[in-house]
Chains A and B, each alone.
Chain A
Amino acid sequence: MTITALPITAHPAVEGGLQLEVTNISPQTESIVSITLADPSGARLPSYVPGSHLVVQYGSGVNAYSLTGSGNGPTEYTISVLRVEDGAGGSVAMHQLGVGDRVYVSRPRSAFAPASTATHHLLIAAGIGITPVLSHARAAADRGTTSSLIYVYRPGAGAHVEEARDLLGPALTECSDRNSFQKVLAEQLMTQSLGTHLYVCGPVAFMDAVLDQARELGWPPARLHSEAFGAAELDDGEPFTVNLVRSGLKLDVPSGASLLETLEKAGKTIPNMCRKGICGECVLPVLRGTPQHRDLYLTDQEKAENTTMMCCVSRSEDPELELDL
């Protein structure tokens, strides 16, 4: 199936967005392709905050992809898509796009913004996690602040490696194995000036390891920024219990089942659309406990407040969560 025409209707998650045309396709690796989108009339596109993502419709579904540019006065949007064979089909459909095809996209959304007071950005990426981090590196270069990047990828499977080398020069450290990465990471975490903020993107387990090590070395949460990746990469998660205070119900959320599914099974109707943490429809108020935020919708600050959560993807850090439901 090739998507040559726009779907008849826009998915609600991209409503109020843009209709763009594919202007370039360039394979990055065997499984990663970069797709460039532009307004068919050549008009300038809305600027975006570095680290923003775009929700793109494929057929009847939607997916979120990080924008790789600096975001400053763009005439095109470029995203890179990793093909996930056993995913929901979005990435496979994206890989079949050709130049001239049209797609519905949302306006860019920011959930991984740079700290305005930072004077240096320590960027850490694994695999396809390079995409938002490249945006940060470009924006930092534009604004005249410095950045350095530790990029972990399997040999021969690194996207945007050449661009990263051009952009960062000696400030780029490439790692292909765990041990060398651990060494570089520990050393960098101990040698940063006080104006430094850390940004990490990659698989959840990778990010957790980086953030844990940073905390151990005395980095407070205000310096740490992370972006969880799309639903395809989310693991099953630990089981936990939710206490629905207003309904007087306690439910067990087993590993592998989402909180949203569990609530639906118990007869609750929760508004939802994308079911992958990007549209913001399934938000729930949290009364007690710390959610494990795995969505792309809430901002860093909203996540830190721990008063709301997106129940389609997010879980719990604590054995029990209390919800205002």
Chain B
Amino acid sequence: MCSASMPPAAGTGLEPGFRGVICASFGATGDTAGQHTGVQPRHDLRFKAANPEALSELRSVLERSHVGVRLVLAGPPADIRAAAAAAAECGLQQEELTLLSDETAPRVIYCPHCHATTTTVRPAGSEVQCRGCATSLATTDHFSRRMGAYLGYSAHAEEAS
């Protein structure tokens, strides 16, 4: 539904009363560029993950917009689910929301050992090396809204102990 032809609006410079299409994408390269919004004005938001800052920015954008607005969310399933819940709290109706769930979009993995986050394009269930402490992390489907990341756990915990 969104088009790449219109340049993304700068920062949060959304004019009050916006009634076009808001495209929010999550993940390093996850984006809504392939979609086109037709003639409707468009506002782009890019977030690394659905962390508290991202969700509060999304909320403030929605609070400034008016009925008639549409929201497109693109990215990993858990991120867009968290964002959809925040949008519903702002009063957005299901019919006003499009979810573009991308199973292969980069995911942010949280390391319980050193608290660093690592971005990976590998699917859930595979292992990724923590960029903080080099622990081999197995990724889970458990998304922490507080961290804005999927929880990783040490893939070889049993062997290590």
Q: Report A's interface with B, CB cutoff 8 A.
A: 117-119, 189-196, 217-223
Q: Return the chain A residue nearest B88 by Cβ.
A: A117
Interface readout for B75-104 with A: 1 if CB under 8 Å, 0 if not?
A: 000000000000000111111100000000
Do residues A190 and B91 form an inter-chain contact, with CB atoms below 8 A? no
Chain B positions within 8 Å of A190 at CB level: 17, 19, 66, 68
Q: Is B65 an interface residue (CB 8 A)?
A: yes
Given A190-B19, A194-B63, list of 6 further CB < 8 A pairs? A189-B67, A217-B19, A218-B69, A220-B95, A220-B96, A222-B95
* Contact for B19 among A117, A218, A223, CB less than 8 A: A218
B48 at interface, CB cutoff 8 A: no
CB atoms of A196 and B67 under 8 A apart: yes
- With A189-B67, A218-B19 as given contacts, are A194 and B91 in contact (CB-CB < 8 Å)? yes
Give the chain A neighbours of B68 by CB distance below 8 A. 189-190, 217-219
Inter-chain CA distance A189–B67, complex, in Å, is 8
**Chain B contact residues, CB within 8 Å of chain A:** 17, 19, 62-63, 65-70, 90-96
Q: In the assembly, what is the distance between CA of A221 and CA of B19, in Å?
A: 17
Q: How far is the CA of A189 from the CA of B19 in the complex (A)?
A: 11
CB closest residue in chain B, given A118: B91
Query: For the complex, what is the distance from the CA of A194 to the CA of B89, rounded to whole Å?
Result: 10
- Return chain B residues, CB-CB under 8 Å to A193: 63, 66-67, 91
Contact yes or no, B17 A196, CB < 8 A: no
Could you tell me the distance between the alpha carbons of A211 and B68 in the complex, rounded to whole angstroms? 14
Of all A-B residue pairs in the complex, the 9 with the closest CB atoms, nearest first, are A218-B68, A195-B91, A194-B91, A220-B95, A192-B67, A222-B93, A194-B90, A220-B93, A217-B68
Mind listing 29 A-B residue pairs with CB under 8 Å? A117-B91, A119-B91, A190-B17, A190-B68, A191-B17, A192-B67, A193-B63, A194-B63, A194-B66, A194-B67, A194-B69, A194-B90, A194-B91, A194-B92, A195-B91, A196-B91, A217-B19, A217-B68, A218-B19, A218-B67, A218-B69, A219-B67, A219-B68, A221-B95, A222-B93, A222-B94, A222-B95, A223-B67, A223-B93
How far in angstroms is the closest Cβ of chain B from A217? 5
Given contacts A190-B19, A191-B17, A194-B63, is CB(A218)–CB(B70) below 8 Å?
yes
Complex CA–CA separation, A287 to B120 (angstroms): 50
Cα A221 to Cα B93 with chains together (Å)? 10
B93 partner residues in chain A, CB cutoff 8 A: 220, 222-223
CB distance from B113 to the nearest CB of A (A): 41
User: Which of B66, B94, B95 has its CB near the most chain A CB atoms (within 10 A)?
Assistant: B66
Contact between A195 and B90 (Cβ–Cβ < 8 Å)?
Answer: yes
Enumerate chain A residues within 8 angstroms of B67, measured Cβ to Cβ.
189, 192-194, 196, 217-219, 223
Nearest residue (CB) in B for A194 is B91
Give the chain B neighbours of A221 by CB distance below 8 A.
95
The answer, among B62, B94, B95, for a CB contact under 8 Å with A194, is B62
List the B residue with the shortest CB-CB distance to A218: B68
Q: How far is the CA of A119 from the CA of B95 in the complex (A)?
A: 18
Q: Which of chain A's residues have a CB closer than 8 A to the CB of B65?
A: 194
Shortest beta-carbon distance from A279 to chain B in Å: 32
Give the docked Cα–Cα distance between A149 and B17 (Å): 20
Kindly report which residue of chain A lies nearest to residue B93, judged by CB atoms: A222
CB distance from B5 to the nearest CB of A (A): 21
